[in-house]
């Protein structure tokens, strides 16, 4: 088919469907979308609470549990251990499909009756206060990741050990307060760097050891503010920085951020990618209009997809050997040919319009099934019965306009401000209500603080063990937080002062280093004036570079944004 321009049924803006898109929709037998890519993305994201835990009553035992779902959610939510057990049978909730009623109306009734798991976790050891995670040991308040040990306050991660306050991080150890780092050891206050060790305040560096406050370096050692030093001089100056003092560290942080802005940034963050577009694109091939993807191929309009995700459209979170996923949210782990699903994993195939299903195949409109096949609305059928009934339901849903659409936003258990939508596209309560989203003010627990963060000892060397008993008042929002034992041990081991902000405010500060999945058409800023280039560039030996690109750096941002060609000339 030819390229078509259509009007989004939600925001009323034009969007384009390309021939390759039509080919994909035909291959998986779905109608072409009625909403633009961003509206489709937000419709999925409203189903994703990434980092909030709530206290609520277990629907079976009546005991208080920690859950991904707020207490106001009208659903039967139970402890994850009970949900996984054989103490209940999801097939007992099975019912016939009623062709006189819309699909979504009937599905919502089923959804409200079947038990939900309190959290989305697998294989945790002493890591109860974590969610959207797997394979963790001795972790605390870690979200959206896997394979970590002795770590806390980490988000979007894989393979960490003894790490604290990281975001978008993997294969690293003994790192602190860093964003977008990989394969690093003892990297502190670092941004968008990999294979670095024993370094502080790096940005866009690779393969560096014993460096401080550096930008755009490759395979360097003993550099401070991008200037080389002898080994002896480096460590002498490092000691003079007095990094164990909060006041000294605060000033150095400000100086580092000012220094970073003097250097150009590449229009897109990511490496080792071919024929791909978007932001945070790593080891990708033919990944178009994507955001935060790693080791993927043939994706479009996907976000947070990792490790061998292939041939997917409109897929958000998480990947790991998946293929042909369409309009799915929080699905993955050796699964394929899934459409319009939420929280369906692992080992699931040929599943549509389902939630909380595990290791199953050939399901339509099911909730909470495990190791089942050929079920519709939690009722068991033969293969032949399933195939015939599914075909009739799809025909009815297609005629009514339901088939091809993800679950309605109003079905989501979360308010807008409880989801990742609020992080990337923040709204006020009034704006959210006007857009048709639910809003819930967070419940503020009245903790009696015992010390103000501004009164904490300046030097980590002066902090005593009794700090673990204190309830600290955040220097920014005024809410209470505590220092936990392994956190204190880490800070003392490295020599970093106590944080003055609560966990949520520290998350917000790190998030400022993350660009949104929104793109602007811009021209390369290389003009030999804004930044003093090291050399002349062959494609524009004078004047401003003519290259244009799509970038997640908004025009009003302070960074000097270069195209790929100019950046490579100056940095690599």
The per-residue pLDDT for 446 is 78
Instruction: Name the pLDDT band for 137 (thresholds 50, 70, 90).
Output: very high
What are residue 435's phi and psi, to 5 degrees? -80, 0
The helix (H) or strand (E) run that includes residue 381 is none
Please state the rounded mean pLDDT for residues 413-423. Answer: 98
Encode pLDDT of 25-40 as tens digits: 999 999 999 999 999 9
Give the other-Cβ count within 10 Å of 501's Cβ. 19
Angle between helices 103-113 and 383-400 (to 10 degrees): 120
- Round to whole Å and give the CA distance between 211 and 205: 10
Please state the rounded mean pLDDT for residues 286-298. Answer: 97
Encode pLDDT of 450-493 as tens digits: 999 999 999 999 999 999 999 999 999 999 999 999 999 999 99
Residue 292 Cα to chain centre, angstroms: 8
**Strand order through the sheet with 349-352:** 278-288, 290-300, 303-319, 322-332, 335-339, 349-352, 361-364, 373-376, 379-380
Please state the rounded mean pLDDT for residues 436-462. Answer: 93
What are residue 345's phi and psi, to 5 degrees? 180, 165
β-pairing, 191-194 vs 209-212, is: unpaired
- Round to whole Å and give the CA distance between 384 and 230: 76
DSSP annotation string for 316-351 = EEEESSEEEEEEEEEEESSEEEEES-BS--SS-EEE
The per-residue pLDDT for 1 is 79
Sign of CA dihedral 150, 151, 156, 158: negative
- Round to whole Å and give the CA distance between 566 and 108: 53
Percent of the chain with pLDDT over 70: 100
Instruction: Name the pLDDT band for 378 (thresholds 50, 70, 90).
Output: very high
Encode pLDDT of 58-113 as tens digits: 999 999 999 999 999 999 999 999 999 999 999 999 999 999 999 999 999 999 99
Instruction: Name the pLDDT band for 355 (thresholds 50, 70, 90).
Output: very high
pLDDT at residue 572 is higher than 70: no
Sign of CA dihedral 260, 201, 140, 122: positive
- Round to whole Å and give the CA distance between 53 and 119: 9
The per-residue pLDDT for 571 is 83
Instruction: Name the pLDDT band for 443 (thresholds 50, 70, 90).
Output: confident
What are residue 518's phi and psi, to 5 degrees? -125, 140
- Round to whole Å and give the CA distance between 114 and 525: 56
Domain boundary assignment for the chain: 4-34, 135-266, 451-511, 521-571
210: cis peptide before it, omega within 30°? no
Please state the rounded mean pLDDT for residues 170-178. Answer: 99
Instruction: Name the pLDDT band for 433 (thresholds 50, 70, 90).
Output: very high
Query: pTM to 2 decimals?
Result: 0.95
Please state the rounded mean pLDDT for residues 259-287. Answer: 96
Nearest to 175 by CA among 193, 415, 37: 193
Q: Residue 80, SS3?
A: helix
What CA dihedral angle connects 354, 360, 364 and 368, to 10 degrees? -40
Three-state DSSP string of 383-432:
HHHHHHHHHHHHHHHHHHCCCCCCCCHHHCCCCHHHCHHHHHCCCCHHHH
318: cis peptide before it, omega within 30°? yes
Three-state DSSP string of 97-123:
CCCCCCHHHHHHHHHHHCCEECCCEEE
- For 34, counting Cβ atoms within 10 Å of its Cβ (0-12 exposed, 13-18 middle, 19+ buried), the class is middle
Give the other-Cβ count within 10 Å of 19's Cβ. 10
Q: What does the mean pLDDT of the chain come to?
A: 97
């Amino acid at each position: 088919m030819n390229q078509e321009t259509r009007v989004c049924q939600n925001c009323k803006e034009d969007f384009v469907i390309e021939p390759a898109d039509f080919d994909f929709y035909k291959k998986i037998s779905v109608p072409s979308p009625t909403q633009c890519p961003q509206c489709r993305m937000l419709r999925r994201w409203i189903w994703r609470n990434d980092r909030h835990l709530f206290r609520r009553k277990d629907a079976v035992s009546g005991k208080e549990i920690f859950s991904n779902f707020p207490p106001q959610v009208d659903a039967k939510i139970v402890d994850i251990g009970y949900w996984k057990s054989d103490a209940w049978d999801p097939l007992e909730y099975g019912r016939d499909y009623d062709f006189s009623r819309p699909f979504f109306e009937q599905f919502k009734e089923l959804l409200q009756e079947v038990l939900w798991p309190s959290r989305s976790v697998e294989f945790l050891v002493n890591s109860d206060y974590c969610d959207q995670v797997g394979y963790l040991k001795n972790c605390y308040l870690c979200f959206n990741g896997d394979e970590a040990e002795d770590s806390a306050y980490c988000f979007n991660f894989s393979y960490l050990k003894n790490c604290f306050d990281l975001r978008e991080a993997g294969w690293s150890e003994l790192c602190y307060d860093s964003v977008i780092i990989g394969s690093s050891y003892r990297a502190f206050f670092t941004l968008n760097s990999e294979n670095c060790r024993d370094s502080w305040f790096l940005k866009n560096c690779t393969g560096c050891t014993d460096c401080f406050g550096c930008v755009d370096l490759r395979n360097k050692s003993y550099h401070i503010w991008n200037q080389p030093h002898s080994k002896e001089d480096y460590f002498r100056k490092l000691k003079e920085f007095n990094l164990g003092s909060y006041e000294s560290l605060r000033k150095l942080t400000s100086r580092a951020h000012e220094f970073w802005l003097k250097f150009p940034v590449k229009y897109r963050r990511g490496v080792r990618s071919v024929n791909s577009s978007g932001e945070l694109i790593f080891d990708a091939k033919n990944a178009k209009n994507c955001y935060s993807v790693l080791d993927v191929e043939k994706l479009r309009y996907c976000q947070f997809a990792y490790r061998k995700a292939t041939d997917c459209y409109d897929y958000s979170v998480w990947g790991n050997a998946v293929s042909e996923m369409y309009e799915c949210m929080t699905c993955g782990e050796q699964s394929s040919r899934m459409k319009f699903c939420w929280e369906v994993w692992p080992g699931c195939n040929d599943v549509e319009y389902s939630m909380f299903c595990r290791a199953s195949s050939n399901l339509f409109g099911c909730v909470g099934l495990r190791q089942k096949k050929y079920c519709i609305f939690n009722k068991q059928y033969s293969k032949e019965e399933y195939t015939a009934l599914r075909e009739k339901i799809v025909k009815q849903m297609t005629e009514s306009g339901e088939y091809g659409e993800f679950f309605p936003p109003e079905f989501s258990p979360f308010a807008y401000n409880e989801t990742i939508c609020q992080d990337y596209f923040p709204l006020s309560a009034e704006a959210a209500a006007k857009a048709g989203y639910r809003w819930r003010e967070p419940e503020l627990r009245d903790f009696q603080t015992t010390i103000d963060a501004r009164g904490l000892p300046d030097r980590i060397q002066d902090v005593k063990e009794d700090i673990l008993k204190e309830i600290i008042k955040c220097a920014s929002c005024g809410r209470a937080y505590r220092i936990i034992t392994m956190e204190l041990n880490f800070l003392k081991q490295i020599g970093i002062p106590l944080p003055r902000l609560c966990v949520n405010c520290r998350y917000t500060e790190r998030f400022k280093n993350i660009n949104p999945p929104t793109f602007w058409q811009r021209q390369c800023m290389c003009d030999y004036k804004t930044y003093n280039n090291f050399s002349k560039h062959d494609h524009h030996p004078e004047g401003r570079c003519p290259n244009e690109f799509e970038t997640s750096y908004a025009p009003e941002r302070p960074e000097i944004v270069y195209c790929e060609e100019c950046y490579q000339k100056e940095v690599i």
